[in-house]
Structure 1
Amino acid sequence: MAYTEEWVTERARNAYEHGRASFDVRPERTALLVIDMQDEFLRPGWSPYWVPAATRMAPRLRRLAEVCRAASVPVIWTIFDDTHLGLDRPHALRFLPHADGDWRRPGPAEVWAPAGRRPDEIVIRKPSYGAFYDTPLDTVLRNLDRDTVIVTGTLTNYCCGTTARQAYERGYKVVFGSDVTAADDESRQEPELAVLRKGFALVLTAEEITHRLTAAAPAADNEDCSGRDR
C-alpha cells in the first residue's frame, strides 16, 4: 500500500479528535489527582493568576471527588508552592514570561476551601509544573498499589498536561478529565486535550469517568486493594 499524504494526515487528525485509549478504569487500582486547585488560581479576583474557568468547573470536580471517595479511590491534592526557598524549581523558570509581576502570595499556599479537600487527604507541595517532579507522588501511588491516575485541576496545558505526560512516562494509565480541567485561556483547552488524546491519556468527561468507576465498582468488591480475589 502506498501511504498518501492525505491518508496519513486524516489518520492523525482522527486520532487527535476521536482517539480513545483501550484500558479499563478499575477503582481499586485508580487514584484521583487534583492539581493546583489553590487560592491564587481559584479565588475570584484575588491574584493575577486567577483562572476563571477553573472557578466555574470547581463544583463539577468536587462532585467527581465525592464519586471517587464513594468508590474507595484515593483523592490526592497538589499545590504549586514555594518549596525549599525556591531552590528546587527549574532554574529557567525565572526567565519565562509568566514569572513576571510583583504579586506575592500573602501567606501559605493552600487548597481553595470550596474545592472540598478533606483533612485526611494527602496534599503534595510541588516546585514545578508536573506533580512527579521532585515530589513523593510516585512512591505514594505505588504504596497505594495504584497503576491508574485521573488527572484533574488547573492549568490544563501546564501543570495538568505535564503531570499526565510524566505519569505516562512512568508507566501509569492516565485518564484526563476534559471538563474537570481548566486553562487560563480557554482557547488552549481543546488543543491540549487533542495531544493528550492521541498520545498520552484516555480523555473523558466527568460523567464518563463517573460511569466507568461506578460500573466497575461491583467487581472491585470481590478483590482486595492489590487486585487479588479475596
Structure 2
Amino acid sequence: MAYTEEWVASRAREAYEHGRASFDIRPEHCALLVIDMQDEFVRPGWSPYWVPAATRMAPRLGRLVEECRTASIPVIWTVFDDTHLGLDRPHALRHLPHADTGWRRPAPSEVWHELGRRADEALIRKPSYGAFYDTPLDTMLRNLGRDTVVVTGTLTNYCCGTTARQAYERGYKVVFGGDLTATDDVSRQEPELAVLRKGFALVLTADEITDQLTENASGAGG
C-alpha cells in the first residue's frame, strides 16, 4: 500500500482530536495530582502571575478532590516554590523569556486556601515545572502502590503538561483533566490537550473521570 500525504495527515488529525488511550481508571490504582493551585496563580489579583481560568476551574477541581477522598484515592499537592535557595532549579531557566514584573513571593508558596488541602495530604515543593523533577513523587507513588496518576491544576502547558510527560516516561498510566487544568492564555489549552491526547495521556473531563471511578469502584484488585 502506498500511503498518501492526505491519508497520514488525516490519521494524525484524528488522533490529536479524538484519540483515546486504552486503559480504564481504577480507584485502587490511582493517585490525584493537584499541580500548583497556589496563591500565586489562583488567588484573584494577588500576583501578576494570576491565572483567572484556574480560579474559575477551582470549584470543579475541589469537587473531584472530595470524590477522591471518599474513594480513598491519595491526593498529592504540589507548589512551584523557591527551594534550597534556588540551587536545585534548572540553570537554564534564568535564560528563558520570563518577564520580570518586580513581584516577589512574600513567603513560601501555599495551596490556595479555598481548595481546602488537608494536613494529612502530602505537599511537594518542587523547583521546576514537572512534579517528578528532583522530588520524591515517584518514590511516594510506588510506596502507595499506585500506577495511574490523574493530573490536574495549572498551568496546562507548563507544569501540568510536563508532569504528564514525566509520568508517561516513568511508566505510569496518565489521566489528564481536560477541564481540570487551566493556563494563562486560553487559546493554548486545546493545542496542549491535543498533543497529550495523541501521545501521552487519556484526556477526560471531570465528569468522565468521575463516571469511570464510580463505574470501576467495584472492580478493586482487577
Fold shared, TM-score > 0.5 on shorter chain: yes
Deviation at 1:99, TM superposition (A): 5.3
Q: Which runs of 5 or more residues in structure 2 are unaligned?
A: none
Equivalent residue of 2:216, what SS? helix
Equivalent residue of 2:98, what SS? helix
Indicate conservation of the 8 Å contact 1:36/1:154, yes or no.
yes
Q: What does residue 112 of structure 2 align with? A: 112
Measured against aligned partners, the alpha-carbon deviations of 1:118-146 in whole angstroms (never above 9, x if no partner) come to: 11100000000000000000000000000
Q: Which runs of 5 or more residues in structure 1 are unaligned?
A: none
CA distance in 1, matches of 2:26, 2:215: 9
CA distance in 1, matches of 2:72, 2:102: 42
Deviation at 1:100, TM superposition (A): 2.2
Equivalent residue of 2:142, what SS? helix
Q: What does residue 193 of structure 2 align with? A: 193
Instruction: Name the aligned partner's letter for residue 141 of structure 2.
Output: L
TM superposition score normalised by structure 2: 0.98
User: Superposition RMSD on alpha carbons, in Å?
Assistant: 0.8
TM superposition score normalised by structure 1: 0.95
Deviation at 1:94, TM superposition (A): 0.9
CA distance in 2, matches of 1:194, 1:15: 8
Deviation at 1:194, TM superposition (A): 0.0
Question: Are residue 24 (structure 1) and residue 24 (structure 2) matched?
Answer: yes
CA distance in 2, matches of 1:216, 1:197: 22
How is 1:1-150 mapped onto 2 (pairs within 5 angstroms)? 1-98=1-98, 100-150=100-150
Give % identity: 82
CA distance in 2, matches of 1:59, 1:101: 29
CA distance in 1, matches of 2:98, 2:180: 23
Kindly tell me the number of residue pairs found equivalent between the two proteins.
222
Indicate conservation of the 8 Å contact 1:176/1:203, yes or no.
yes
CA distance in 1, matches of 2:68, 2:207: 12
CA distance in 2, matches of 1:64, 1:98: 32
Deviation at 1:24, TM superposition (A): 1.1
Indicate conservation of the 8 Å contact 1:93/1:99, yes or no.
no
CA distance in 2, matches of 1:28, 1:52: 33
Deviating beyond 2 angstroms after TM superposition, the runs of 4 or more aligned structure 1 residues are: none
Equivalent residue of 2:55, what SS? helix
Instruction: Name the aligned partner's letter for residue 20 of structure 1.
Output: R
Deviation at 1:95, TM superposition (A): 1.3
Deviates more, 1:112-121 or 1:54-63: 112-121
CA distance in 1, matches of 2:178, 2:21: 14
